[in-house]
């Protein structure tokens, strides 16, 4: 049998709300096994993402992410979780965990308030709302400020729908089966009542019906809201059934994230020998 160190971290947890944030699995290994093994572990974990990290040098790791259904090109909350694990377990000898990924170099550092993370911005451009997606989102009777098509990072079409107010984001009940059939993952966002902006993220086309607090979504949300509000550092909440909070700073094609990453459990994944 092979025992792999395993952790579950609640990324971007709200310190004032128990059992908040986005659960991410972190699996530490000496080398990547076959993709079928990675996919099987992620499917068995049944979290929105599992991060797999392999050392590649001093304070450097190769990092891959899997949902229960697919490998993805970028995952913020699982990167945040992986950095928190490596920093808290003493694997990092300096101040920062550096990762090489499908989306290039990423990093996580410790901060006075928790952790900070550096990710690339994810580009977007104005799109044209279509009736099928609008109906699937349950937004046919609601005011729409804008809609954007986002670069693909989760293996499916990816959009951001901007609505007028926080209540609309909180109360929306999309038809996830229809979104899966259409093949779209969707961010819904609006100005926040107590923070700069709020959002929710639905990714049924990538095997995740609703992601609790999505780092990669904020790689597009942060520059959009920064331009719209004229602010350089913004407060944000993702307000689905399992909420979370974070702060974001977009600049020079990157986004700096600030948030908390409490550890929920640790142990080992036990795999049978090949």
Q: State the CATH number of the domain containing residue 45.
A: 3.10.310.10
- Indicate whether 274 pLDDT > 80: no
Is residue 131 domain-shared with residue 211, that is, in the same domain?
Answer: yes
pLDDT for the residue numbered 1: 87
Per-residue pLDDT of 238-262, as tens digits, reads 999 999 999 999 999 999 999 999 9
- Indicate whether 89 pLDDT > 90: yes
**Would you call 177 exposed, middle or buried from its count of C-beta atoms within 10 A (0-12, 13-18, 19+)?**
exposed
Per-residue pLDDT of 135-157, as tens digits, reads 999 999 888 999 999 987 766 78
| Structure tokens that stand for 239 in this block | 């307000």
Number of domains in the chain: 2
Domain of residue 17, residue span:
2-120+258-271
Is residue 243 domain-shared with residue 139, that is, in the same domain?
Answer: yes
Show the DSSP H helices in the chain as ranges.
Answer: 35-45, 76-88, 131-137, 166-171, 176-182, 215-229
Sign of CA dihedral 42, 245, 16, 240: negative
Is residue 192 domain-shared with residue 243, that is, in the same domain?
Answer: yes
Is residue 170 domain-shared with residue 103, that is, in the same domain?
Answer: no
Is residue 133 domain-shared with residue 231, that is, in the same domain?
Answer: yes
pLDDT for the residue numbered 154: 66
Is residue 144 domain-shared with residue 232, that is, in the same domain?
Answer: yes
Is residue 79 domain-shared with residue 155, that is, in the same domain?
Answer: no
Is residue 104 domain-shared with residue 196, that is, in the same domain?
Answer: no
Q: What is the pTM of this model?
A: 0.95
Is residue 60 domain-shared with residue 87, that is, in the same domain?
Answer: yes
Is residue 147 domain-shared with residue 236, that is, in the same domain?
Answer: yes
| Structure tokens that stand for 174 in this block | 């999309």
Percent of the chain with pLDDT over 70: 99
Three-state DSSP at 12 gives coil
What average pLDDT does the chain have? 95
How many CB atoms within 10 Å of residue 104? 10
Is residue 112 domain-shared with residue 167, that is, in the same domain?
Answer: no
Active-site amino acid positions: 49
Is residue 141 domain-shared with residue 246, that is, in the same domain?
Answer: yes
Work out the average pLDDT over 41-63.
Answer: 97
- Indicate whether 204 pLDDT > 70: yes
Give the C-alpha separation, 174 to 41, whole Å.
29
């Amino acid at each position: 049998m092979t025992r792999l160190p395993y952790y579950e971290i609640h990324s971007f947890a709200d310190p004032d709300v128990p059992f908040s944030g986005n659960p991410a699995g972190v699996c530490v290994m000496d080398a990547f096994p076959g993709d079928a093994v990675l996919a099987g572990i992620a499917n068995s974990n049944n979290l929105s993402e599992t991060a797999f990290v392999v050392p590649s040098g001093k304070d450097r790791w190769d990092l891959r992410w899997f949902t229960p259904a697919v490998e993805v090109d970028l995952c913020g909350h699982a990167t945040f979780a992986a950095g928190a694990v490596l920093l808290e377990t003493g694997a990092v000898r300096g101040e920062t965990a550096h990762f090489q990924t499908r989306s290039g170099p990423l990093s996580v550092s410790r901060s006075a308030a928790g952790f900070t993370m550096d990710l690339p911005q994810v580009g977007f451009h104005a799109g044209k709302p279509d009736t099928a997606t609008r109906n699937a989102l349950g937004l046919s009777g609601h005011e729409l400020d804008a809609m954007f098509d986002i670069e693909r990072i989760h293996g499916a079409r990816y959009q951001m729908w901007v609505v007028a107010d926080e209540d609309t984001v909180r109360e929306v009940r999309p038809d996830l089966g229809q979104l899966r059939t259409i093949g779209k993952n969707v961010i819904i966002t609006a100005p926040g009542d107590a923070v700069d902006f709020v959002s929710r993220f639905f990714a049924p086309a990538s095997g995740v019906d609703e992601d609790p607090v999505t780092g990669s979504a904020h790689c597009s949300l942060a520059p959009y809201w920064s331009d719209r509000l004229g602010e350089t550092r913004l407060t944000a909440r993702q307000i689905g059934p399992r909420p979370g909070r974070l702060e974001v700073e977009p600049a020079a094609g990157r986004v700096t994230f600030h948030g908390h990453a409490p550890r929920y459990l640790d142990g080992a994944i036990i795999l049978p020998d090949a």
